[in-house]
């Protein structure tokens, strides 16, 4: 009976999606990069590591030095990819700012067991071509993760095509100012579209600005 229960626990651990919370610098790009790793089912941008973890943060407070770190919460299928492989991928994707709390390289462990695994991973050492070392990653234990504002989620997936469209519209209007080839209606449409993209940028920050507390 005991062996059956142990086996059931192992199976549950493998089937149930696991999470890793990682400080990797600005969270926009690593959250997109890690989503491409086989076995990763979701990534979310958020905050962790404040001295008072129950105090609700927002992007302004984090930038103001409230002690929180920009993090990526990685949800992964442990039957496909293990914790250490997620850390390896995170190490490759990280763009931390050393000396900055907000953009610090940190592995946030949910419990003592995860902290031990993270510490062992750090202790293995290793250096990237740009000089970043595993040993520069700290390990901190916390059971609190604050989901960042909605406009931070999937940032580059949303905004890369929008920025491309904005630059194309501005470029088209600049060329028209020199060559005068656009009909007035087309020029006006370009202006309306460019302004709309700018308003979308501002609107998302006003309307999608809530942070949500999640557990480990």
Domain 18-152 has CATH 3.30.1060.10: yes
Token pair listed for 44: 């979310």
Supply the residues annotated as catalytic: 26
Structural domain spans, the chain = 18-152, 155-208
- pLDDT recorded at residue 216: 62
- pLDDT recorded at residue 39: 97
Describe the crossing of helices 184-207 and 155-179 by its angle, rounded to 10 degrees. 150
Which distant-in-sequence residues (6+ apart) come within 8 Å of 7 by Cβ? none
10-residue mean pLDDT series, the chain (216 residues): 48 72 98 97 97 91 96 98 98 97 98 97 96 97 95 91 87 87 88 86 80 79
């Amino acid at each position: 009976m005991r062996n059956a229960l142990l086996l059931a626990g192992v199976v549950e651990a493998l089937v149930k999606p696991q999470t890793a919370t990682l400080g990797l610098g600005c969270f926009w790009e690593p959250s997109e990069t890690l989503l491409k790793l086989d076995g990763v089912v979701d990534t979310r941008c958020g905050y962790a590591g404040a001295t008072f973890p129950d105090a609700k943060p927002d992007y302004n407070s984090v930038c103001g030095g409230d002690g929180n770190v920009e993090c990526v919460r990685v949800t992964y299928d442990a039957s496909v990819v293990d914790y250490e492989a997620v850390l390896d991928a995170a190490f490759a994707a990280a763009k931390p700012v050393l000396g900055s709390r907000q953009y610090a390289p940190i592995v946030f462990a949910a419990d003592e067991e995860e902290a031990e695994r993270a510490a062992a991973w750090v202790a293995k050492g290793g250096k990237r071509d740009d000089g970043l070392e595993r040993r520069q990653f700290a390990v901190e234990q916390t059971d609190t993760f604050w989901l960042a504002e909605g406009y931070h989620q999937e940032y580059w997936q949303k905004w890369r095509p929008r920025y491309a469209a904005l630059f194309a519209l501005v470029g088209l209007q600049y060329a028209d100012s020199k060559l005068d080839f656009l009909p007035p209606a087309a020029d006006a449409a370009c202006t309306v579209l460019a302004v709309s993209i700018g308003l979308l940028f501002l609107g998302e920050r006003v309307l999608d600005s809530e942070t949500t507390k999640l557990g480990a």
